[in-house]
Amino acid sequence: MKFKFILLLTIAGYFSNAQSNALRIHSQIRLPQDSVESQKLITALNEFLDAASEPNEENSWILETQKIETYILLDEFKDIKKSREFSDDTFYKPYLNNVIELKNNQYLIQLSYIGVDNSESHLRASFELIAHQVNDSFRFSSPLLRNTEHWQKAQIGNNIFRYEKSINMDNVETFSALADTFDKKLKVDNQISEFYCTENLPALLNLIGVQYRSDYNGRTQANFSTTYEGKKLIVLGNDNAAFDNLDPHDLWHDRLSLVISRRKVNKPVDEACAYLYGGSWGLSWHEIFNIFLEKVASNKKTDWTEIKENPLNFGENRATHLMADYVVNALIVQKIEKEKGFDGVWEFLNCGPYQKGNDNYHQSLERLTGITKKKYNKAVWELIEKEKASTKKS
For residue 20, name the pLDDT band (cuts at 50, 70, 90): low
Q: State residue 9 phi and psi, 5-degree precision.
A: -65, -40
Mean pLDDT of the chain: 92
Mean pLDDT over residues 111-133, rounded? 96
For residue 188, name the pLDDT band (cuts at 50, 70, 90): confident
Mean pLDDT over residues 343-368, rounded? 96
Residue 67 is assigned to a structural domain of this protein: yes
233 Cβ contact partners less than 8 Å away, ≥ 6 residues apart = 68, 69, 71, 72, 194, 196, 225, 226, 227
CB 348 within 8 A of CB 368: yes
pLDDT of residue 104: 86
Residue 262 is assigned to a structural domain of this protein: no
Three-class DSSP category at 213: strand
Strand partners, 193: 159, 232
The answer to whether residues 114 and 160 belong to one domain is no
For residue 394, name the pLDDT band (cuts at 50, 70, 90): low
Residue 128 is assigned to a structural domain of this protein: yes
pLDDT of residue 26: 85
Closest CA to 269 of 289, 253, 251: 253
pTM of structure:
0.82
The answer to whether residues 368 and 336 belong to one domain is yes
Mean pLDDT over residues 12-16, rounded? 44
CB 144 within 8 A of CB 209: yes
Strand partners, 223: 236
Chain segment 197-247, per-residue pLDDT in tens: 999 999 999 999 999 999 999 999 999 999 898 889 999 999 999 999 999
Q: What is the DSSP string of 266-315?
A: -HHHHHHHHHHHH-BTTB-HHHHHHHHHHHTTT-TT--HHHHHHS--B-S
Domain that holds residue 162: 152-256
For residue 358, name the pLDDT band (cuts at 50, 70, 90): very high
Mean pLDDT over residues 91-98, rounded? 96
The answer to whether residues 178 and 111 belong to one domain is no
pLDDT of residue 125: 98
Chain segment 127-184, per-residue pLDDT in tens: 999 999 999 999 999 999 999 999 999 999 999 999 999 999 999 999 999 999 999 9
pLDDT of residue 393: 66
Residue 53 is assigned to a structural domain of this protein: yes
Residue 278 is assigned to a structural domain of this protein: yes
Domain final position from 217, 236, 256: 256
Residue 252 is assigned to a structural domain of this protein: yes
Chain segment 195-209, per-residue pLDDT in tens: 999 999 999 999 999
For residue 77, name the pLDDT band (cuts at 50, 70, 90): very high
The answer to whether residues 271 and 369 belong to one domain is yes
pLDDT of residue 230: 83
Sort strands 137-141 and 120-134 into parallel, antiparallel or unpaired: antiparallel
For residue 390, name the pLDDT band (cuts at 50, 70, 90): confident
Mean pLDDT over residues 110-130, rounded? 95
pLDDT of residue 254: 87
Q: What percent of the chain has pLDDT over 90?
A: 85
Q: What percent of the chain has pLDDT over 70?
A: 94
Sort strands 120-134 and 106-117 into parallel, antiparallel or unpaired: antiparallel
Mean pLDDT over residues 46-71, rounded? 97
The answer to whether residues 112 and 44 belong to one domain is yes
Residue 121 is assigned to a structural domain of this protein: yes
Residue 147 is assigned to a structural domain of this protein: no
pLDDT of residue 340: 97
The answer to whether residues 183 and 156 belong to one domain is yes
Closest CA to 37 of 103, 120, 131, 147: 131
The answer to whether residues 14 and 135 belong to one domain is yes
